[in-house]
Amino acid sequence: MTKGEAVRRASAMAAAALSVMMAGAAIADDAPAPDKSGFTVFNPTPTPDLRPLCADRPSKATGPCTVDAGHWQVESDLYNVTFQSAGGVSTRIELFTNPTLKLGLTNSLDVEVSMSPWQRVTTRDGTSGATTTASGIGDLYLRAKWNLAGDDGGQVAFALDPYLKLPTAPTTVGNGEVEAGLAAPLQISLPKGWQLSLDPEADVLANAVGSGRHLNTSGVVSVSCPITPELTGAAEVWGDEDFEPTGRVTQASADLALAWIPTKAPSVQLDGGINFGLNRATPRSQLYVGVTRRF
């Protein structure tokens, strides 16, 4: 599949998802949501009123749900490895845990902090056979997710999710620049427990050469469904357009993921997945396993 075909396919799926989303909004459930506005970080949501566990993993899509007020949630890769080849050079990026810590401030607002404590980048030149390795902590990401609809029920959910990246990684691993962006995740509940998600994002990234910033846009179209009462499967298409001044870069991938929430431990999720690159600019594969725990 060529780069243009991958992008056209991702765009077509995004358009179809948007059409379904708009139709879903028109038939949204009018039943009133429970009033949980009095719960805050200082007045935590009681256990019987907690929402079902909802994490931003395992897929690339960001969910519109927030952590209940006064509760913590940890979401982390246990191991994540990415393989990429370009111009005769192969690269392997490994994350040894990649935790995100979330705290519910109100019933519809949480704050999030994430950073990989250790990652390793191994590069091998196919021509010379030379191998180099760089490792260190990752960059620090600060986020705040504000749910505007659907946190406590209904067929349509929507949130705003801005982030700020601070350059804590060594320059051998990161780019040493402050960057920021905004995602606007939307989710539609479909019959029989299926979910359709559309997750557009815009970022302001540092230029690869010289000073200045440029626009990066991305999007995910995701469909998930229950396989058993405890196991959920998801399939998605992801696309990214980096308007780098030295050369525009388009990436796309097709992703598969599974998440397991045991009936006897409803605040725990185990998950895993695999992503396949759809063009040469995208890593050819990415594999990961991870865990989520709510407190």
Residue range 162-215, pLDDT digits in tens: 999 999 999 988 999 999 999 999 999 999 999 999 999 999 999 999 899 999
Residue 86: which pLDDT band, with cuts at 50, 70 and 90? Answer: confident
* Gap between the Cα atoms of 159 and 102, Å rounded: 16
Residue 26 in this model has a pLDDT that exceeds 80: no
CA 203 to centroid of chain Cα atoms: 14
* Gap between the Cα atoms of 286 and 293, Å rounded: 23
Residue 31: which pLDDT band, with cuts at 50, 70 and 90? Answer: low
- Average pLDDT over all residues of the chain: 91
* Gap between the Cα atoms of 276 and 286, Å rounded: 7
Q: Is 7 helix (H, G, I), strand (E, B) or coil?
A: helix
| Cα–Cα distances in angstroms (integers) from residue 251 to residues 51, 58, 115, 234, 284, in the given order | 35, 20, 24, 20, 11
Q: Model pTM?
A: 0.86
In the chain, the amino acid numbered 190 is L
Average pLDDT over residues 273-294: 97
Token pair for residue 189? 């509940």
**Sign for the pseudo-dihedral over CA of 125, 131, 134, 135:** positive
What phi and psi, each to the nearest 5 degrees, are found at residue 26?
-70, -25
Q: Give percent of the chain above pLDDT 90.
A: 83
Q: Give the Cα-Cα-Cα angle 271, 71, 140 (nearest 5 degrees).
A: 65
Domains of the chain in start order, with CATH, are 3-28+53-294 (2.40.128.130)
Over the stretch 106-132, which tens digit does the pLDDT of each residue have? 999 999 999 999 999 999 998 888 999
Question: What pLDDT does residue 32 have?
Answer: 63
Say if CB 218 and CB 201 are below 8 A apart: yes
Q: Higher model confidence: residue 54 or residue 14?
A: 54
Q: Is 126 helix (H, G, I), strand (E, B) or coil?
A: coil
